[in-house]
Structure 1
Amino acid sequence: MKMQAVVMRQGQLEQAEVLVPRPGPREVLVKTLACGICGSDLHCVKHGRQLLASAREVAGIDLFDFDAPVVLGHEICAEVVEHGPDCRRTVGSGTRVVSAPFLLRPQVVTLGFGSLDTPGGFAEYMLLSEDLLVPVPADVPSDLATLAEPVAVAIHAVNRGRLGIDDVPIVVGCGPIGLTVIAVLKMRGIGPIVAADLSPARRAMAKAMGADVVVDPREASPYAAWKTLAGADTPSRFGRQTALFAGFPFRQSVVFECVGSPGIIQQILAGAAPCSRIVVAGVCMERDNFQPTYAVMKEIDIVFCFAFTMEEYAEAFDLLASGKLRVGNLITDRVGLSGVQDAFDRLANPEGDTKIVIIHSH
């Protein structure tokens, strides 16, 4: 049996007919209903060799074969079609599901970076592990369900920031992750929230997601905006203090770096308040540098984060399904497989779309 898929090879995308994969033990074959296009998908196409080199150097793994066909897509909603061997069948055929993008094999497979045997959501069918399936309620649209994965990334970033209820966050970069971080902060009652982005469209979206003050960093400093909001009237509300900046009369600063471009970390170190916590959620694919003395003298904590835990994924989907977190307006367009290349081109323009979801027609 064959299916349609958008295949990446050597940084090029093309639609092709490929074999439908076969589920292994405790796996199910699913029909892909919807799949979000993620920034990391764009990175894979544009910076595939750098991504592979980093994964090999840091983790000793080959994330995928650059010269072999790869089927991207890890923000998925799908329908169970067939159960593989040894399945408990706790989720029946015909059930719509989401899943964290992993296959629980002896060597765990990260879906969305796999071969034709373990394709991601840019294919009409894919494999999922039965133990990771989360049924989707009837009133939750399939395209909305795909946002569980980026929401989980944002929850993980916010959790890594260890924010107290009195902390005042700054979100630098209002792409999909920055916007979702804003939504999570707002939902948790943390604020006021300052957001910064060069793009007018993204600044407008940041406001819609719950940012209290939104600035164009070419015209105004987000750190100056933070100062106007974060003043504390009593020492009990002061953020962490050091001798070099004793008596700094402001609440705790937490800065989320959601850009992922060289130079941004240094800009934040230069502008951020003393004793800030910086959460680096942006994925910079190039070599970067910064001046440690800024971080040393200000005693700034820098935290890097990647992906999410299974618990955070479950929390993300529960928040979406319950309506407690409303981020559906992140989705600005929907395309079929034939529109994927055009969607990639459009997503390179920050003034255009925020999140494009592939809708599969079967």
Structure 2
Amino acid sequence: MKAVIRRGTQLVEDELAEPVPGEGQALVKTLVCGICGSDLHALHYLDHMIGLTRRAGGMETLDPTKDVVFGHEFCAEVLDYGPGCAGTLKPGTRVVSVPAAFGPAGSELVGYSNLFPGGFAERMVLQEALLLEVPNGLDAERAALTEPMAVGEHAVAQAPLTPQTVALVIGCGPVGLSVIAALKARGIGPVIAADFNPHRRQAAEALGADVVLDPGQHSPHERWEALDVPATLASYSAAQLMGRAIRDAVVFECVGVPGMLQQLIEKSPPTAKIIVVGVCMESDTIEPSLAINKQLSLNFVFGYSPEEFAATLHDIAHGTRDVTPLMSGTVGRSGVADAFKALSGGGAQIKLLVDPGQA
């Protein structure tokens, strides 16, 4: 089969051996697969990513010096099954799945595995038990965005939201946009969104963000007081003494660059809850005393549960979670390398999809 393969730090088109489903596994045809920000980083720094994952107690199965086929945001079509399968979903059924499969060494991430090629290949092996049928006539392109949108669903599910919450989303790439969509699906507002990129600000507005700002022109932290959130310790103390109504602030950090946490600790209002969704791959420095004085909470989140993944698919399929503002087009195998460059360049593209069956 044909695939786009990470070989060293290059993306190359090549032939791979046909995958064979094992016990409890399905063989599927990839219809379309999104390019994730983690793929962009992994192209050049996969060894660093694996090192950090292992230090956290994660998988020991991926060798970054060997070939890897990326792609974990996919929609596929069932072709066949391995032994021991129920075969409930008939061949031809369109499916999505949490990108995991079980090999001899245990659970592996499809798309970050030497054994299980991801969605940049024409065919994949997935666990039958994790397959979800795409419902309600949803097209493959939107179904493939279940995975990245589930990241926002999980981040918002971990936040202490109330009807009085004012939410601030820093960074409106795919992760930040998925957070905005999950917030608006819960009726949270106002939601403030900040990004330097005008195309991403436009997408944030389309997803329902109530206030959309260019942080190069206006600090999003200037809005707190007008929204009944005391912006400083002095204002907070005065509001408490006067019995003034106080709204709570939840800040979603969706950028993941050094210095961002310290900036949010300095600028966020007292008692704010900071949900860290952006993945910073470098060492960083914060001043804990500032966070202590302001009684801030830092909550680091990652991934999603199978239940959150399924709920996200349902919401997309039934029109309660819009993914259209994220979609920037589809490329074939020959366009993947250029798509990586475009997405890394901070231009108009937000989410590009790969059709591995197209040259």
- TM-score, length-normalised on structure 1? 0.93
- AA aligned to 2:117 is P
Helix, strand or coil at the partner of 2:158: helix
How far off is 1:138 after superposition?
Answer: 5.9
Tell me the alpha carbon deviations over residues 100-126 of structure 1, each in whole angstroms, 9 at most, x when there is no partner: 1011457111111011x3100010000
Helix, strand or coil at the partner of 2:4: strand
Aligned counterpart in structure 1 of residue 251 of structure 2, from 236, 250, 255 = 255
Match of 1:237 in 2: none
Distance 2:103 2:316 in 1: 28
Answer yes or no: is 1:174 the counterpart of 2:172: yes
Aligned counterpart in structure 2 of residue 42 of structure 1, from 31, 40, 45 = 40
Mapped contact 1:55–1:63 kept (Cα < 8 A) = no
Distance 2:136 2:250 in 1: 38
Tell me the alpha carbon deviations over residues 12-63 of structure 1, each in whole angstroms, 9 at most, x when there is no partner: 2111111111000010100100101111111111321220110121115335
Tell me the alpha carbon deviations over residues 108-148 of structure 1, each in whole angstroms, 9 at most, x when there is no partner: 11111011x31000100000111111111362110100011
Measured on the aligned residues, the alpha-carbon RMSD in Å equals 1.8
Helix, strand or coil at the partner of 1:19: coil
Length, aligned pairs only? 351
Distance 1:254 1:137 in 2: 33
How far off is 1:164 after superposition?
Answer: 1.2
- AA aligned to 2:276 is V
Aligned counterpart in structure 1 of residue 327 of structure 2, from 305, 327, 331 = 331
Distance 1:63 1:35 in 2: 23
Mapped contact 2:239–2:245 kept (Cα < 8 A) = no
Match of 2:192 in 1: 194
Aligned counterpart in structure 2 of residue 153 of structure 1, from 151, 154, 172 = 151
Tell me the alpha carbon deviations over residues 57-111 of structure 1, each in whole angstroms, 9 at most, x when there is no partner: 1115335211100011000110111110000111111111110101145711111
Mapped contact 1:168–1:230 kept (Cα < 8 A) = no
Match of 1:302 in 2: 298
How far off is 1:199 after superposition?
Answer: 1.2
- AA aligned to 1:6 is V
Aligned counterpart in structure 1 of residue 128 of structure 2, from 112, 127, 130 = 130
Tell me the alpha carbon deviations over residues 297-356 of structure 1, each in whole angstroms, 9 at most, x when there is no partner: 001010000100010001000001111111122111110111100100000122220000
Structure 2 runs not aligned, ≥5 long: none
Aligned counterpart in structure 2 of residue 203 of structure 1, from 201, 204, 218 = 201
Tell me the alpha carbon deviations over residues 151-197 of structure 1, each in whole angstroms, 9 at most, x when there is no partner: 11100000111211210000000000101111111111001011111
Helix, strand or coil at the partner of 1:194: strand
Match of 1:360 in 2: 356
Match of 1:56 in 2: 54
How far off is 1:245 after superposition?
Answer: 7.8
Aligned pair in 2 of structure 1 residues 245, 20: CA closer, same or farther (>3 Å)?
Answer: farther
Mapped contact 2:59–2:108 kept (Cα < 8 A) = no
Aligned pair in 2 of structure 1 residues 129, 61: CA closer, same or farther (>3 Å)?
Answer: closer
Answer yes or no: is 1:271 the counterpart of 2:270: no
Aligned-pair identity in percent equals 43
Tell me the alpha carbon deviations over residues 185-223 of structure 1, each in whole angstroms, 9 at most, x when there is no partner: 111100101111111221121111111111111221111
